[in-house]
Structures are given as structure tokens and as C-alpha cells.
């Protein structure tokens, strides 16, 4: 049987797996589904059409599935879906989707949402995304696998962050960030590639060098950006990681592409590679 503290409030209709633990004064709404091994901390609030996968942890005072901060919202049955083993830390908030988006806010597997972070309505986070303390995501933000967002960063609504990117703390991100990119600042600009992350996750020297060459050509080269894109497509378009960056750039975007803000420090880059 689930381990439900006597002071917790679980509404009739909620679906609770047998191995779930719910702490003191937590509140679980009627349309919430809690998978095996889910842990809900003291005073946490789960509401709306919310599904938590196996092993998800919701720590004290977090709230998941409450209505979006969207003045057009009129109580429609939009959703939150959270993948297995994701952790939502203290005071973090994850709002359900809106009718102006996909109708679902989705977090993948093994994400870590640190204290007081906010995931706005209709955001789509892939697997192993880390949002550090006080990160703020506007609505409709799309974040790829293995992205790290530094503490205190604000990401504008509808921004796309490609996989394996890293965002420096206290940044203001209002443009799309390429896969494998590194950016920081207010307003944030690209400062190079996430070389440390690439090495840690097993990308070889050939892939890293190809990305470095493509980055220099696209963001530090001469001529128009379209001309530089054409040259990279011609010379490197079949290299898998470069092709991923090119496809990201060519995809539809509401915010536009983030450009480089300063020259990469070549000695630091060479040491990291």
C-alpha cells in the first residue's frame, strides 16, 4: 500500500501506485497519476492532469500542475508529464500547458529542477536537463538533452536550446542557442562550444574538431551568414554533429538565432580539446 502521511490530502480519483510515499501536508489532486516509487515531500502540491513517471521525487513546497500564468487560460484540461527519475527540488514550480501551445508541459527522464526554478506553461524539456537554482523559463521554451542552465538565468518564451548546450549563470537568453553551444551574459551571446561537456559525454576528437571548425566558419567568419552557412553545408554537411547544428539553424524559429559575442580564447579551447 502507498505510504501516505495522515495529514496529506489525496483527492478521490487520484491514481497512486503501491510504492508511492506522500509526506506531511502534501496535496494531490483528483486527476494526478503517480507512478511506482514516486516520492512527494511535505507541503508539496500536485494538481491538474499531471502524470509523474517511475521514481520521480517532488521535494517540500514544490508545486506541479497548477494553472499556467496565461490570461487566456480558462480552465481547460491541459497537462503536465514528468519522466522517470526526475527530481523537482524545494519551492520549484512546473505549470501545466495552455490552449495556445501543445496543451502539455513535458519534462523528460532524469532531469534535475533545483530550488525555486520555474518551468512555464508548454515548456518541453528533454532528458537529463539541469536547471540550477532560480532559473526562470518563460512559456513554450524547448530544451534538448543534457543541457545545463546556470543559476539565476532567465530564458525568454519560445526560445530553443539545442542539446548538450551550457548556459552561464545570471544570463538573459532571448535567442535560440545552437546544439553544443555555450553562452552567457545579459543579454546572452555565444562564447564558443561546450567543450568540457562534449569531452565528458564521450565525443571524440574528430567530432569536436569538426564542430570547432564549423563554429568558427558560422559565427566568426567573414561575409554574410547565409554565405557562411552554404560553405559549411558544402564542406562539412555530412558530419553528424555539424549536420545537427545546421538542421537546428534551418528549423523554424520564433526568436531568431543567438550570435557570437566575442572571440573564443584559442588557448583555452585548445587545452579543453
* 3-class SS of residue 268: helix
- Identify the active-site residue in 91, 118, 121, 156: 121
Grid cell, residue 157, equals 518564451
Q: Reply yes or no on whether 162 is catalytic.
A: no
What is the C-alpha separation between 214 and 190, in angstroms, rounded? 14
d(C-alpha 176, C-alpha 201), whole Å: 22
Cell numbers given for 200: 565528458
Catalytic option among 70, 122, 127, 176 = 122
Give me the residue label for grid cell 543567438.
258
* Annotated catalytic residue 121: yes
Establish whether 91 is a catalytic residue: no
Catalytic residue among 37, 41, 65, 139: 139
Q: How far, rounded to the nearest angstrom, does the alpha carbon of residue 146 sit from its chain's CA centroid? A: 8
Cell, residue 249: 539553424
> Is 209 strand, coil or helix?
helix
Contact status, residue 145 vs residue 130, Cβ threshold 8 Å:
no
Catalytic residues: 121-122, 139
Amino acid at each position: 500500500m502507498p505510504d501516505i502521511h495522515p495529514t496529506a490530502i489525496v483527492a478521490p480519483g487520484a491514481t497512486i501506485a503501491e510504492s508511492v510515499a506522500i509526506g506531511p501536508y502534501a496535496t494531490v489532486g483528483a486527476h494526478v497519476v503517480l507512478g511506482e516509487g514516486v516520492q512527494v515531500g511535505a507541503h508539496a502540491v500536485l494538481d491538474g492532469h499531471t502524470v509523474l513517471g517511475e521514481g520521480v521525487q517532488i521535494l517540500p513546497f514544490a508545486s506541479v500542475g497548477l494553472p499556467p500564468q496565461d490570461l487566456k487560460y480558462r480552465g481547460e484540461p491541459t497537462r503536465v508529464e514528468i519522466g522517470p527519475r526526475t527530481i523537482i527540488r524545494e519551492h520549484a514550480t512546473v505549470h501545466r500547458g495552455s490552449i495556445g501551445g501543445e496543451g502539455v508541459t513535458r519534462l523528460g527522464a532524469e532531469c534535475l529542477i533545483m530550488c525555486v526554478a520555474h518551468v512555464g506553461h508548454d515548456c518541453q524539456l528533454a532528458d537529463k536537463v539541469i536547471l540550477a537554482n532560480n532559473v526562470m523559463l518563460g512559456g513554450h521554451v524547448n530544451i534538448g538533452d543534457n543541457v545545463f542552465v546556470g543559476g539565476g538565468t532567465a530564458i525568454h518564451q519560445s526560445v530553443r536550446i539545442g542539446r548538450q548546450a551550457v548556459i552561464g549563470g545570471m544570463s538573459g537568453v532571448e535567442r535560440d542557442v545552437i546544439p553544443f553551444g555555450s553562452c552567457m551574459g545579459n543579454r546572452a551571446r555565444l562564447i564558443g562550444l561546450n567543450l568540457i561537456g562534449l569531452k565528458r559525454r564521450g565525443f571524440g576528437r574528430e567530432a569536436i574538431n569538426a564542430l570547432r571548425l564549423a563554429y568558427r566558419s558560422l559565427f566568426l567568419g567573414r561575409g554574410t551568414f547565409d554565405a557562411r552557412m552554404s560553405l559549411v553545408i558544402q564542406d562539412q554537411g555530412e558530419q553528424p554533429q555539424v549536420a545537427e547544428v545546421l538542421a537546428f539553424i534551418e528549423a523554424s524559429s520564433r526568436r531568431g538565432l543567438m550570435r557570437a559575442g566575442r572571440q573564443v580564447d584559442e588557448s583555452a579551447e585548445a587545452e579543453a580539446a
